[in-house]
Structure 1
Amino acid sequence: MEVPYLYISLLLLLLASYLFRRKSANLPPTVFPVLPIIGHLYLLKPPLHRTLAKISAKYGPVLLLQLGFRRVLLVSSPSATEECFTKNDIIFANRPHMLFGKIIGNNYTTLIWSSYGENWRNLCRIASLEILSTRRLNEFHDIRVDECRLMIRKLMSDSNPVNMKTVFYELTLNVMMRMISGKRYFGGDIAATEEEGTRFRKIMDETVLLASAANIAPYRS
Structure 2
Amino acid sequence: MFAYLNAITAGLIAILLFACYIRRSTAAKKPQPPKAAGAWPIIGHLPLLTGSQVPHISLGALADKYGPIFTIQIGIHQALVVSSWELAKEIFTTNDIAVSGRPNFTAVKYLGYDSVMFGFAPYGDYWREMRKIISVELFCSRQIELRKHVIESEVETSIKELHKFWTEKEMAQATFHATAGSDRKEVDRCRKAMREFFDFLGLFVLRDAIPFLGWLDVGGHEKCMKKAAKNLTSLSVNG
- The TM-score normalised by the length of structure 1 is 0.65
Identity of aligned residues (%): 29
Residue among 33, 57, 61 paired with 2:38: 33
After TM superposition, list the pairs within 5 Å mapping 1:104-115 onto structure 2: 104-115=111-122
SS of the residue corresponding to residue 125 of structure 1 reads helix
* Number of residues of Structure 1 aligned to a counterpart in Structure 2: 173
Superposed CA deviations along residues 50-80 of structure 1, whole A, max 9, x for unmatched, are 4433433443211111111111111121221
Shift of 1:160: 6.7
SS of the residue corresponding to residue 28 of structure 1 reads coil
Q: 1:192 to 1:219 in 2, by over 3 A?
A: farther
Relative CO higher for 1 or 2, CA cutoff 8 Å, sep ≥ 6?
2
The letter for the 2-side match of 1:201 is R
Distance in 1, Cα, partners of 2:71 & 2:169 = 43
Residue among 125, 147, 152 paired with 1:118: 125
After TM superposition, list the pairs within 5 Å mapping 1:141-152 onto structure 2: 141-152=148-159
Gaps of 5+ in 1: 1-20, 163-187
Correspondence 1:205 to 2:210: no
Gaps of 5+ in 2: 1-23, 171-176, 212-239
* Structure in which a larger fraction of residues adopt helix: 2
CA contact (8 A) 2:36 2:66 kept: yes
Shift of 1:109: 2.1
Distance in 2, Cα, partners of 1:40 & 1:47 = 14
CA contact (8 A) 1:30 1:63 kept: yes
After TM superposition, list the pairs within 5 Å mapping 1:37-186 onto structure 2: 37-45=42-50, 47-157=54-164, 158-159=166-167
CA contact (8 A) 2:106 2:208 kept: yes
Residue among 182, 185, 190 paired with 1:193: 182
**Deviation >6 Å, runs of 4+:** none
